[in-house]
Amino acid sequence: MYTIDLSDAFTERRPLIVQQISVAAHTCGFFQVENHGIPLDVMENTLLLARLFHEQHLEYKSEFIYTSPILHLGQVGARDSLHMPLEPVLPAPGLVPNFCIRQFLEWDVEVLRVAKLVMELLSEGLGLESGRIEDMACHRGRYMDADYFPYGSQGAILNLDFPPGSNLAVGPFTDPCVMKIQVQDKPNGLQFKDGDVWLEFPAWDDLLVSVGDLLQIFSNDNYKRAVQRVVADDMMEPPVSLSIFFYPAGGGNLGPFRELLSNNEPPHYRRFTLPQFFDQAHYTDPLSSFRFRD
């Protein structure tokens, strides 16, 4: 697992940090960050509230959650998600429990600060200006999911069958976004694929940054999207995770960054709008949908 020390990002070691992030994003699409500056009590309190919500009675939870299957990459599984829009619009009244909103917004402020720095480093890793990703308003479109991964197929609303003996809570998936920043409350559960090996995200107090489908497209395959899964142990509490997803808030056509293209490096993907992208992401693999055929 690649680990990035963000305390070095404003020192003479910044070029090394850029190189480390670039290698991680190019190789497997994920890395954990330490010394991110988010107060431990903010992280603990936000995770605690998320678990408190998910452990409420189903009759109460069902007013707020959805149980989401993943529909591409052959995934099997489900997760119970409390979904909260953050920007460009906040959630409508009644969409998120009142006792969660203030803490979730505090968490968003902290994660957004880290996200802007990580976007700078990822941009520099592509040889672009540090503000290139942020200039696409990728920090202005975001939402948060507080996810709960029941053991086996026992989602709160939707039950899906798993192979006999499987301990998968959610099978392999990628994220239809530019980038995701995630934290979980247990050292087990979330796994990322590095080559043919599944690696576990070990430290709950570090943040996990993963490359989404859109950033692989924007980078013209210089960066690789993260392939993930969640495993569960019926002898332990189901894991809870908090994920903030970032996507472009502006309109217009999207595609590989033009600065990365040349006669020797043509675009690997055709251009598209964000609604077109999300339409594809709901039903199939968006990279395959927009990739030029040889």
Find how far residue 241's CA is from the centre of its chain.
Answer: 11
User: What percentage of the chain reaches a pLDDT higher than 70?
Assistant: 83
Choose between 136 and 65: higher pLDDT. Answer: 136
Q: What is the 3-state secondary structure (H, E, C) of 175-193?
A: CCCCEEEEEECCCCCEEEE
**CATH code, domain carrying 36:** 2.60.120.330
Choose between 170 and 183: higher pLDDT. Answer: 183
- pLDDT per residue over 223-244, tens digit each? 999 998 877 665 567 778 899 9
Mean pLDDT of 36-64: 88
CB 290 within 8 A of CB 217: yes
Q: In one letter, which amino acid is 136?
A: M
Q: Residue 108 — very low, low, confident or very high, per pLDDT cuts 50/70/90?
A: very high
- pLDDT per residue over 109-155, tens digit each? 999 999 999 999 999 999 999 999 988 878 788 999 998 866 544 43
Cα torsion 115, 116, 117, 121: sign:
positive
The mean pLDDT of the chain is 84
Range of the domain at 29: 3-290
Per-residue confidence (pLDDT) for residue 190, from 0 to 100? 78
The token pair that represents 204 in the structure block: 């709950």
Domains in the chain, number: 1
